Amino acid sequence: MKVFLTPLFLNYLRTIARLQLKKHRPIIIGITGSAGKTSAMAACAVVLKPKYKVKISYKANSESGIPLDILGLHPTNYSIIDWLRLALLAPIKLITNQDQPEIYLVEMGIDSPLPPKNMTYLLSIIPPDVGIFLNAALSHTQNFDSLVKNKNLSASEREKHLTKLIALEKGKIITTLPKSATGIINTDDEQSAEIIQKSQATILTFGSMGHPIVKVTGVEYGRDKTRFLIKYQAKTYQLNLKNMILPVHFGHSFAAAICCGFTQGISINQAIRHIEQDFSLEPGRSSIIEGVNHSQMIDSSYNASPQTMIDMLELLSKIQGKRKLALLGDMRELGDSAMSAHVRVAKKAAQVCDQVHLVGPLMAEHALPILQKAKIKVTCHDSARQAADVLKDQLLPNDVLLIKGSQNTLLLEIAVQQLMAHPEQAEQLLCRRGPYWDKQRRMLI
């Protein structure tokens, strides 16, 4: 029954959402990538908001979330009754929702090469006027495994092939654009040249290698600040962010936002000023939080993929601290690439960390042996709660603890809350808040 009803329900939502968009016809800016979509969307928003009325697809990037967000609807607990409520309200919202944004900024996440979780389906809901391609990396690769026909590939060759398949699917946000549209693409991605060649749109480029229009040339760190160096038209600009310690890939998010500003008549000086003044981190994306015993935590507990794990470990290596510790959870939905990805992250952790704590069966199976062989102090835990119980007694003044892992059944924000010097700030500072997530966390007890 669910297999039959789900396509009907999704088509119903798609039809009503498209009618809603036709009422006021906002400029649509779509953002996709394997990592950094939410941060890039936040950066684009602060660049655009001083000049335009902007609607943001906050916490809505899927085949159901996007059309609901267009209508001004959001699930509460994902139950059958809740979906029925949304179905009944959708046509009412079409009539009553008179929101008139000039720009709709939408995050477009894909989990599969097949509809309704692929880019082709999302584009049938919301075709962008500006498409932004951030990157492609190993994420949700289990759904692409069946497309790899050659079973004799080495692990590295297989990962490269999977990454290409993901890039080309995500790249449809650029390749399907009409001539009147603009594509913004990260030229550091290996498939960018092929994607650009297939597109008839105007193309703006960013990256840190070669000769993109907006180039990230470096990143510098102070104790509680990050400076990105950005080159445009032979001039280097400084983008200074106070009270933030950000990994290098955030520079690409800001470069994409600068290009986004160009499409709407906003200069690089204006874009940088708006980012410096108004950009703030979403919870669980490299937030700095005071920990117990006068320690410091880098809370990156929202989610994880291999490259973002490595980027955060590299960031940990650059931060001043007495000891460098990491609480690392499984990276999920990687399919046949899970072993090599966890091994790669473990090798990086061995280079950076004085002590590593692991949560999840994949970390236990693949990362633990690597860390043991490297003679790093390492402990496996059954849950985030158990890890926090142990770490409470081990964190010392001036220690720095990185916390990062996939969200599925791990919910490492549980550990962050237990290790906060001021846990009363959890609702304000941590990710996945609200009754639904409270219930999910209780189920892990």
Q: Rounded to an integer, what distance in angstroms lies between the CA atom of residue 285 and that of residue 348?
A: 20
- Flag whether pLDDT at 1 surpasses 60: no
Segment 100-121, tens digit of pLDDT: 999 999 999 998 999 999 999 9
Q: Is the pLDDT of residue 418 over 70?
A: yes
Domain boundaries, position 110: 2-278
Nearest to 67 by CA among 103, 107, 14: 14
- Residue 324, pLDDT above cutoff 60: yes
Q: Higher-confidence residue: 191 or 78?
A: 191
How many angstroms separate the CA atoms of 437 and 262, rounded?
38
218 shares its domain with 133: yes
In this predicted model, what pLDDT tens digit does every residue of 208-262 receive, in sequence order? 999 999 999 999 988 778 999 999 999 999 999 998 889 989 999 999 999 999 9
- Pair of tokens at residue 371: 């860390």
Q: Do residues 146 and 26 share a domain?
A: yes
What backbone phi and psi angles, to 5 degrees, belong to 228? -100, 135
User: Is the model's pLDDT at 123 over the cut of 70?
Assistant: yes
Residue 5: pLDDT band (50, 70, 90) is confident
3 pLDDT band, cuts 50/70/90, is low
356 and 237, same domain (yes or no): no
User: Are both 43 and 149 inside the same structural domain?
Assistant: yes
Identify the domain boundary among 278, 310, 331.
Answer: 278
Q: Are residues 363 and 411 in the same domain?
A: yes
216 and 99 in a single domain? The answer is yes
Confidence of residue 4 (pLDDT cuts 50, 70, 90): low
Residue-level pLDDT at 145? 84
pLDDT (mean) for 85-92: 96
pTM given for the model: 0.90
- Domain boundary (278, 299, 333) is at 278
CA atoms within 13 A on the CB side of 200: 5
The count of other CB atoms within 10 Å of the CB of residue 412 is 29
pLDDT tens by residue, 12-53: 999 999 999 999 999 999 999 998 899 999 999 999 999 999
Kindly state the tokens that stand for 239: 């983008």
Q: In terms of domains, do 381 and 410 share one?
A: yes
Q: Are 138 and 260 in the same domain?
A: yes
For the cut 60, the answer to whether the pLDDT of residue 91 exceeds it is yes
The predicted model gives 422-439 an average pLDDT of 92
Whether residue 349 sits in one domain with residue 241? no
Q: How many domains does the chain have?
A: 2
CATH code for the domain of 188: 3.40.1190.10
CA atoms within 13 A on the CB side of 62: 10
Q: Check residue 146 and give its pLDDT.
A: 84
Does pLDDT of 267 surpass 90? yes
* Residues 225 and 312 occupy one common structural domain: no
Q: What length is written for the chain?
A: 445
Distance CA 400, CA 353 (A): 10
Rounding to the nearest 10 degrees, give the CA dihedral for residues 412, 340, 110, 253: 70
Residue 407 has pLDDT above 90, yes or no: no
Looking at the structure, do residues 253 and 335 belong to the same domain, yes or no? no
Question: What's the confidence (pLDDT) of residue 2?
Answer: 61
Spatial distance between the Cα atoms of 54 and 433, rounded to a whole number of angstroms: 24
Collect all residues with Cβ–Cβ distance below 8 Å to 2 and sequence separation of at least 6: none
422: which 2 tokens? 């001021």
Q: Identify whether residues 227 and 302 lie together within a single domain.
A: no
Mean pLDDT of the chain: 94
Torsion angle (degrees, nearest 10) of CA 244, 247, 252, 257: -20
Residue 88 CB contacts under 8 Å (≥ 6 apart), including other chains: none
Which residue among 237, 254, 278 closes a domain? 278
The neighbouring-strand residues paired with 237 are 230
The pLDDT score that the predictor gives to residue 70 is 97
CA distance 341 to 331: 8
**Dihedral, CA atoms, 209, 259, 223, 416, nearest 10 degrees?**
-100
**What is the rounded distance in angstroms from the CA atom of residue 204 to the CA atom of residue 196?**
10
pLDDT at position 381 is: 97
